[in-house]
Amino acid sequence: VYSKQVPHPQQQRRPGERAGLTTEAVVGTARRLIHRDGSDALSMRRIAAELGVLPNALYSHVADKQALEDLLVDQLLGEIRWPTEGTWRERTLAVHRETRATLLSEPAIATVYVQRAGRGPNALRLAQRSLQMLDEIGLTGERAAQVFRVLIAHTVGFVAFELSRTHSDRAAAAALPPGTGLDGLAQSPGELEYALGLEWLIDGVLAWAKPQRARKASTG
Amino acid sequence: VYSKQVPHPQQQRRPGERAGLTTEAVVGTARRLIHRDGSDALSMRRIAAELGVLPNALYSHVADKQALEDLLVDQLLGEIRWPTEGTWRERTLAVHRETRATLLSEPAIATVYVQRAGRGPNALRLAQRSLQMLDEIGLTGERAAQVFRVLIAHTVGFVAFELSRTHSDRAAAAALPPGTGLDGLAQSPGELEYALGLEWLIDGVLAWAKPQRARKASTG
DNA sequence: ACCTGAACACCGTTCAAGT
DNA sequence: ACCTGAACACCGTTCAAGT
C-alpha cells in the first residue's frame, strides 16, 4: 500500500545549527504537499522531509498538526473574492458560488475544513460581511444569524457531500444493477444541483424576510 | 496524547486453532468501539484486541479498513425508518428529518459516511424509494434524479457541516471578539436551521415540478 | 529560540507458516 | 479457511540535549 518514501533533501546540520524555518514556509510546503498528494498524504514527517529537517523541528513553528491544518483552511478561505456589484440576490448567489468554487479548487483542504470547523480570522471576516448583507434586506440579530447558518451550511455541506462522492463515482456507477432506474443516481451532484438548491433557498429567505422589512432595498 | 492501551482479553490459541470470528462480530465490535470512543479511535488493532485475536486475523473477514467502514455506514443507513402516512410534503419532510436524526445518533459513523460515499444495499434502497416518491408529483428521469440529489445533498451536507462545528463550539464562542455582532455566529446550526432550509427547498421543488405535472396528487 | 537525536506509543497491511 | 507469528513501512508527539 505504501510506496517507499524518498528522503529527498537530507538535513546536514549539527545540533544548534538553524535551518531558517518559518511558519509561512511550513504552511507553504504543507499546501504544496496536500495539493499534490491529497489530504491522506499530508504528514508532519513528509513536510519535514520536504524541508530538509527532522520531524520534530516543525513543532517550533506550529503547535501541532491540527493547528497547521487550521492555518491551511483559513488561508484558503482568504482566497474567496467578495462580489461588489449587482442586486442583493445577485451578490448572494455570487459569494456562495465563489465559496464553493474556492473550496473545490483545493479539494484536499476542503476535506480538512469539513472535518473540523477551524474559525480563523478569514472565516470571521466572511461571517461579518454576510451579516452586513442580510441587514440590507432587513434581517438583523438572531434571525439574520439563522439565515446565515442556513446558507453557509448549504454551501459547505453541499461541497462536503460532493467531495465524498466524486472519487468513488465511476466504480459505483459500474456496480449498479442496470434497468432499475437508478442509472445516474450514483452520480455526484454538481453545479446544476447546487445552483438549483441555492436559488430555492434564496427565494425562501426573501419571502421569510419580507414581513420584517422596514427599509427599501433592491432584492433583484 | 495516547493513554496506554489495555490489552484486555488476550488470545490463548496456538497456530491452527480457531477463534470463531464472523464478519458480523467484527462489524459489531467496530460499532461498539466507534460509538464509545469516536471515529479516530477506530483501529483494526483495537478491534482485534477487543475480540482477543491478532490484528491480521480480521483480514479473513473484511477486505480492509475501508470495507469495514462501508459496512458500518450501510448498517446505519438501514436504520432509517421510512414514513408511510401523510401528504407528499409531510412524508418528504419526515424521511429527511429521520435521515438526519439517524446520522446524528451515531456521529462517528456519520463522520465516516461524509468522508467517503459508501453505496451499499441500504443506500440504494433509500435512493429507489426517493425516486418513487418524486414520481408522485410528476417528476421522472433526469429531473427526478436532479431533485433527489439536491435534497440528499442538503440533508447529508447539513449534517456534515453540523458535525464539523459541534465539537469546537464552546472554545470558538469564547474566543470571539465581543460586541462585534458575531455572538452566536460561531454557534452550530441545528434543528431549526435544518428545518427552515428543508421547507424552502421543498417549496422550490414543488414549484419546479408544477409545469411538468400530469397526474393529480396531494402535495400538502 | 531553534534545531538534532532518540525514543514512545501507536497505525494498516502483507507474507509465511501452522492445522 | 482461519488463525498465529513476525515483520514492513509508516504515523504524531515528547523529552533531553546542543548552540
pLDDT tens figures, B95-134: 999 999 999 999 999 999 999 887 899 999 999 999 999 9
Using the Cα atoms of residue B62, residue B64, residue B65 and residue B68 in order, give the sign of their dihedral.
negative
Q: Identify the pLDDT of residue B184.
A: 54
Question: Nearest residue of A to residue B108 by CA position?
Answer: A115
Q: Which residue is nearest to nucleotide D5 (CA to C1')?
A: B15
Give me the total of CB pairs closer than 8 Å, taking one residue from chain A and one from chain B.
Answer: 174
pTM (two decimals)? 0.90
Q: Average pLDDT, stretch A108-114?
A: 96
Query: Does B164 touch chain A if contact means CB atoms closer than 8 Å?
Result: yes
For Cα atoms B44, B46, B49, give the angle at the middle one, nearest 5 degrees.
110
A192-210 pLDDT, tens per residue? 999 999 999 999 999 999 8
Helices (H), A38-64: 44-51
Q: Do B146 and A193 touch (CB under 8 A)?
A: yes
At A184, is the pLDDT very low, low, confident or very high (cuts 50, 70, 90)?
A: low
Q: Average pLDDT, stretch A151-166?
A: 94
Whether the Cβ atoms of residue A39 and residue A112 lie closer than 8 Å to each other: yes
| Average pLDDT score, chain B | 88
Q: Identify the pLDDT of residue A16.
A: 82
Instruction: Inform me whether the pLDDT recorded for A71 exceeds 70.
Output: yes
At B15, is the pLDDT very low, low, confident or very high (cuts 50, 70, 90)?
A: confident
Q: Identify the pLDDT of residue B149.
A: 96
Q: Average pLDDT, stretch A145-160?
A: 97
Å from A44 (CA) to D19 (C1')?
Answer: 25
Q: Which is nearest to B161 in space by CA: B120, B96, B200, B110?
A: B110
Q: Which is nearest to B152 in space by CA: A147, A165, A167?
A: A165
Among A79-93, B13-27, B58-72, B196-210, the minimum mean pLDDT is found in B13-27
Q: Which is nearest to A101 in space by CA: A154, A149, A159, A148?
A: A159
Q: Do A201 and B197 touch (CB under 8 A)?
A: yes
Using the Cα atoms of residue B190, residue B196, residue B200 and residue B203 in order, give the sign of their dihedral.
positive
Q: Average pLDDT, stretch A55-82?
A: 98
Question: Nearest residue of A to residue B156 by CA position?
Answer: A161
Any strand D atom closer than 7 Å to B55 CB: yes
Q: Do B193 and A159 touch (CB under 8 A)?
A: no
Rounded CA Rg of chain B:
22
At B170, is the pLDDT very low, low, confident or very high (cuts 50, 70, 90)?
A: very low
| Cα atoms in the 13 Å half-sphere on the side-chain side of A43 | 8
B144-160 pLDDT, tens per residue? 999 999 999 999 999 99
CA–CA min distance A26, chain B (Å): 23
CA–CA min distance B8, chain A (Å): 30
Q: Which residue has the higher pLDDT, A137 or B10?
A: A137
At A14, is the pLDDT very low, low, confident or very high (cuts 50, 70, 90)?
A: confident
Q: Pull the grid cell for residue B116.
A: 467517503
Instruction: Inform me whether the pLDDT recorded for B213 exceeds 90.
Output: no
DSSP code for A20: -
Between the CA of residue A128 and those of A148, B25, B139, B163, B185, what are the distances in Å?
10, 50, 39, 22, 9
Å from B45 (CA) to C9 (C1')?
Answer: 13
Any strand D atom closer than 7 Å to A218 CB: no
A92 vs A162: CA distance, rounded Å: 21
Nearby residues of B36 by Cβ (< 8 Å), 6 or more positions away: none
Whether the Cβ atoms of residue B35 and residue B3 lie closer than 8 Å to each other: no
Q: Average pLDDT, stretch B82-95?
A: 97
Question: What is B131-145 written as a DSSP string?
Answer: HHHHHHTT--HHHHH
Å from B5 (CA) to C3 (C1')?
Answer: 32
Å from B15 (CA) to C16 (C1')?
Answer: 12
Q: Which is nearest to B33 in space by CA: B1, B65, B10?
A: B65
Phi and psi based region of residue B216 (left: phi greater than 0; alpha: psi -120 to 50; beta: remaining): beta
**Residues 132..161 of B with a Cβ closer than 8 Å to A: which?**
142, 145-146, 148-150, 152-154, 156-161
CA A219 centroid distance within chain: 28
B182 vs B137: CA distance, rounded Å: 42
Q: B157 contacts in A (CB within 8 Å)?
A: 153-154, 156-161
The one-letter amino acid code at B21 reads L
Angle between helices B44-51 and B23-37 (to 10 degrees): 110
A87-108 pLDDT, tens per residue? 999 999 999 999 999 999 999 9
